[in-house]
Amino acid sequence: MTKATDIHLSHADLVALLQKIFAKNGVSENNAKILAENCASCERDGSLSHGIFRMAGYVSSLNSGWVDGKAVPEVEDVGPAFVRVDAKGGFTQPAMLAARPLLIEKVKQNGVAVLAIRRSHHFSALWPDVEPFADEGFVALSVVNSMACVVPHGGKKAVFGTNPVAFASPRAGAAPFVFDQASSAIAHGDVQIAARAGHDLKPGMGVDRDGQPTNDPKAILDGGALLPFGGHKGNSIALMVEILSAALTGGYFSGEFDWSGHKGAQTPFTGQFFIVIDPARGGNDVFAERVAGICDLVLEAGQERLPGDRRHVTRAKAEKDGIPLSTENYEKLKALANA
């Protein structure tokens, strides 16, 4: 009998396999490498709602003609501290990487710069987008909106996406402090995973098609909706994400794009926003030490762990033993690569 994790792949081998799948499905060589690296890193870190679980959705969206895997983003220098990118209907990550050198140059010049990406598809976790900035000594915040599946607090109709916010900061003597969280009570990916596994959700995550509270993930996916986390407070964060990611960038709101003509489309067609700061401009030479200090205080006060800690433990184990995959999932990936 096969065990849940009887295959272990190196990060490089998983990237190569995923790259082949992207390339087979109309993604350019450059973009395939970026997306494969991103997806393999999610799997390696145990961000399973956005790891290899997403590959079938990527393929389905690409084959529906909804997303352009070959898109070449256009980077626009629009102000001393403002970079804009038209992703041209492609994925966000290649657009962000295309703009990165100019963005960093502006952050170094001005102490702060923003990046506004529009006409982009984001189908992954956000931490891979912000963590590298903190690795280079910068503080970074990013938000992305998705597809309307979250009812506003007290409302009846889904307006917001699951709209995550990710933040990264250098921290002395340790990996950067990074959090990455949906503004819904649960990510849509985790609802899909629970539905497949036949597990109920905890109370307070969603409503069914009649607006009644439900713990059944299938009822949420079948005409129901998710709730914002923390009631009216999560609601305001979801709304802020719509404003920054769509209104400000020129992308679509989560409820605005029409993918009905593309059967199989799954990738939200929206926008993404970044603020990147050089903490040295704060005039505090011990910024990273101060961050480490406040993180230590939180742990000493009794919080069991910090955000990102689980990922780093999972990453270290995967780097030592390989990334664990079930035989079933490995076979599915090979089938997609050889289809």
User: Which residues would be at the binding site for ligand PYC (CB under 6 A)?
Assistant: 49, 123, 146, 162, 182, 187-189, 268
- Please say if 122 is a catalytic residue: no
181 binds, among ligand PYC, ligand NDP, none (CB under 5 to 8 A by kind): ligand NDP
- Between 205 and 306, whose beta carbon lies closer to ligand PYC? 205
Residue among 115, 26, 8, 9 nearest 66 (CA) = 26
Q: Point out the catalytic residue in the list 41, 45, 47, 49.
A: 49
Catalytic member of 41, 45, 47, 50: 50
- Give the H/E segment covering residue 187: none
Among 180, 291, 324, 336, binds ligand NDP (CB under 6 A): 180
Q: Rounded distance, CA 53 to CA 264, Å?
A: 16
309 is catalytic: no
Contacts 24+ apart (CB under 8 A), 228-235: 228/150, 228/152, 228/153, 228/160, 228/183, 228/184, 228/185, 229/181, 229/182, 229/183, 229/184, 229/185, 231/153, 232/153, 232/154, 234/153, 234/183, 234/184, 234/185, 235/152, 235/153, 235/160
| Distance from C-alpha of 47 to C-alpha of 49, rounded to nearest angstrom | 6
**Beta-sheet strand order (sheet of 206-207):** 213-214, 206-207, 225-226
Q: Is 179 exposed, middle or buried (0-12, 13-18, 19+ CB in 10 A)?
A: middle
Q: How far is the CB of 52 from ligand NDP (least distance, A)?
A: 15
Using rule CB under 6 A, residue 181 touches ligand NDP: yes
Q: How far is the CB of 77 from ligand NDP (least distance, A)?
A: 26
- In this complex, which beta carbon is closest to ligand NDP, that of residue 123 or of residue 133? 123
When the beta carbons of 237 and 325 are compared against ligand NDP, the nearer one is: 237
User: Catalytic annotation on 190?
Assistant: yes
Question: Is there binding between residue 121 and ligand NDP (CB under 6 A)?
Answer: no
Which of ligand PYC, ligand NDP, none interacts with 47 (beta carbon under 5 to 8 A by kind)?
A: ligand NDP
- By the rule CB under 6 A, 199 interacts with ligand NDP: no
Candidates 59-67, 131-139, 273-281, 307-315: pick the segment binding ligand NDP (CB under 6 A).
307-315
Radius of gyration of the chain (CA): 20
**Nearest Cα residue to 10 out of 305, 321, 317, 219:** 321
Q: How far is the CB of 161 from ligand PYC (least distance, A)?
A: 6
Interface residues toward ligand NDP, by CB under 6 A: 47, 49-50, 122-127, 144, 146, 162, 164, 179-182, 186-187, 189-190, 268, 304-311
Q: Return the active site residues.
A: 49-50, 190
